[in-house]
Chains A and B, each alone.
Chain A
């Protein structure tokens, strides 16, 4: 009995804490003056986590009272959530293919390419000498991890390897690019194909090796304000910010290329 009471007490505390978090949040939203309590919801590919967080802060700075809320994740998962009716203002995908179901369904029109990303070979920083070109990935005894074919980085990896005529037996096909990076960072894999921006974000543990075949597998990143955006005005302004010179500078600094 005593234990049940303890458990119940713990649950109550947790619930209360969660509740507090919520109210604190909405308090934040309403506090800074004029516009008062508007929230812009942006769904963006996982590889945009660092850059879009930065741009979001800048957007909040220039729009007092507006809070930008991000949902970062795999582009196809995000696209599904949008087509299933999630209330979203802006969608930025890691490939045109994952943007397509959203535009096909009429949830967005005229997406614009705002960045390009190319693949690099990520190797653990301590053992950078082992791999210097794409063909090295075919060596036996080398543990290589790639993205699954179903996700954009896996499709790009397949194209690059085909372009170089390199056959790779990967140890694993990971669910997204960050998972590939984790395996290399922890030294479980000797090499993996990731986006240049991801390798740059992990520069302390990972070295990104550039290779010429990556030119055959450059990923376009499209962005669109959604037609049913609850904050359609703000949505368009956010897209403008991403396409602006400031947006470009932020993205290029992080390893992306301008379209």
Chain B
């Protein structure tokens, strides 16, 4: 143990100064990511911040954002982990095609995703018309619609990271469990899941972050009504129409909350991998 750790630290120190070819683009990249945030901070109306934050619609939108993003993440976990397992562990014809299809929401403009959801799950949609006729369920303009829209755009993030973790995991543990007589479900539950837990956690965090910032699919599919479907990104967009200062404040709130949550989760789960 000690030998290994000293070897590792020695390895690190011999790396010496990072080469300029890497350092320069790395720092440029960092600046490119951080400067827009600095812009928000510099232009924020600090003197009126307190009163603006106290406005009820801000808290309402924030609450709705947190609730829907969390529910969407749960839904992504329930559907995405099995899907990732299927892609990584089961051989079937057309697996490449399925893998490509899973990434479609990543390349699809979110607004188009929202329209697609309307065409399928809307009141006149392929599936939605039966939901409406048989159960009286209409998803557009409802909080459930927000969750579905966020799930649609966030699911690929979870599937891709979990599939990556599954492929990187050592198959011998699963094979050993199988030779000892465990069924596939037991192997999945007792061996595979604990093995890829860090990957699942990382995927869930990504998924949550994507759901929290979701705008296009949400406003297209679920509409915008305070308290029901108006999440923070929607509130920011509409505030920008008349009151850019308010939009900056709302953006900062969303930013602060997501950074705090992500930092907390990272320390707890992700970095242990």
Taking Cβ atoms with an 8 Å cutoff, the residues of A that contact B are 74, 76-77, 80, 143, 145, 148, 150-151, 170-175, 179, 182-183, 186-188
Contact A148 B238 (CB under 8 A): yes
Choice from A148, A173, A187 contacting B122 with Cβ under 8 Å: A187
Closest to A183 in B: B223
Contact A188 B122 (CB under 8 A): yes
Give the CA-CA distance A173 to B222 in the complex, in Å. 10
Interface centre among B115, B118, B140, B234 (most CB of A within 10 A): B140
Residue numbers in B under 8 Å from A145 (CB-CB): 223
Give the CA-CA distance A80 to B123 in the complex, in Å. 36
If the complex has contacts A172-B225, A175-B224, are A186 and B118 also in contact, measured as CB distance less than 8 A?
A: yes
Choice from A151, A173, A179, A187 contacting B123 with Cβ under 8 Å: A187
Contact A173 B241 (CB under 8 A): no
Contact A172 B141 (CB under 8 A): yes
Interface centre among B229, B238, B241 (most CB of A within 10 A): B241
Choice from A80, A183, A186, A187 contacting B244 with Cβ under 8 Å: A80
Given contacts A80-B240, A175-B224, A188-B122, 6 further A-B pairs with CB under 8 A are A171-B141, A174-B224, A182-B220, A187-B124, A188-B123, A188-B140
Give the CA-CA distance A158 to B219 in the complex, in Å. 21
| Interface of B (DSSP majority class) | helix
**Total interface residues in chain B, CB < 8 Å:** 23
26 contacts between A and B (CB under 8 A): A74-B241, A76-B240, A76-B241, A80-B244, A148-B224, A150-B241, A150-B242, A151-B241, A171-B140, A171-B141, A172-B229, A173-B223, A173-B225, A174-B224, A175-B219, A175-B224, A175-B237, A179-B219, A179-B220, A183-B140, A186-B122, A187-B122, A188-B122, A188-B123, A188-B124, A188-B140
Q: State the Cβ distance, B249 to closest chain A Cβ, in Å.
A: 15
Residue numbers in A under 8 Å from B219 (CB-CB): 174-175, 179
Q: State the Cβ distance, B140 to closest chain A Cβ, in Å.
A: 5
Residue numbers in A under 8 Å from B237 (CB-CB): 175
Choice from A150, A151, A171 contacting B223 with Cβ under 8 Å: A171
Q: State the Cβ distance, A243 to closest chain B Cβ, in Å.
A: 27
Residue numbers in A under 8 Å from B234 (CB-CB): 175
Contact B239 A150 (CB under 8 A): yes
Contact B119 A186 (CB under 8 A): yes
Contact B244 A143 (CB under 8 A): no
Residue numbers in B under 8 Å from A148 (CB-CB): 224, 238, 241
Q: Mark B115-146, 1 if CB is under 8 A from A, else 0.
A: 10011001110000000000000001100000
Closest to B241 in A: A150
Contact B242 A186 (CB under 8 A): no
Contact A170 B244 (CB under 8 A): no
Closest to B128 in A: A188
Give the CA-CA distance A68 to B272 in the complex, in Å. 57
Residue numbers in B under 8 Å from A175 (CB-CB): 219, 224, 234, 237-238
Contact B242 A172 (CB under 8 A): no
Q: Mark B210-236, 1 if CB is under 8 A from A, else 0.
A: 000000000110111100010000100
Give the CA-CA distance A159 to B222 in the complex, in Å. 25
Give the CA-CA distance A34 to B48 in the complex, in Å. 56
Closest to B129 in A: A187
Residue numbers in B under 8 Å from A188 (CB-CB): 118, 122-124, 140-141
Residue numbers in B under 8 Å from A77 (CB-CB): 240-241
Give the CA-CA distance A65 to B236 in the complex, in Å. 41
Q: State the Cβ distance, B95 to closest chain A Cβ, in Å.
A: 14
Q: State the Cβ distance, A12 to closest chain B Cβ, in Å.
A: 17
Q: State the Cβ distance, A25 to closest chain B Cβ, in Å.
A: 22
Q: Mark B96-120, 1 if CB is under 8 A from A, else 0.
A: 0000000000000000000100110
Q: State the Cβ distance, B216 to closest chain A Cβ, in Å.
A: 10
Contact A143 B141 (CB under 8 A): yes
Contact A76 B242 (CB under 8 A): yes
Q: Mark B236-256, 1 if CB is under 8 A from A, else 0.
A: 011111101000000000000
Give the CA-CA distance A186 to B221 in the complex, in Å. 11
Give the CA-CA distance A172 to B223 in the complex, in Å. 5
Give the CA-CA distance A230 to B122 in the complex, in Å. 46
Give the CA-CA distance A150 to B239 in the complex, in Å. 7
Give the CA-CA distance A188 to B115 in the complex, in Å. 11
Give the CA-CA distance A208 to B74 in the complex, in Å. 43
Residue numbers in B under 8 Å from A179 (CB-CB): 219-220
Residue numbers in B under 8 Å from A173 (CB-CB): 223-225, 238
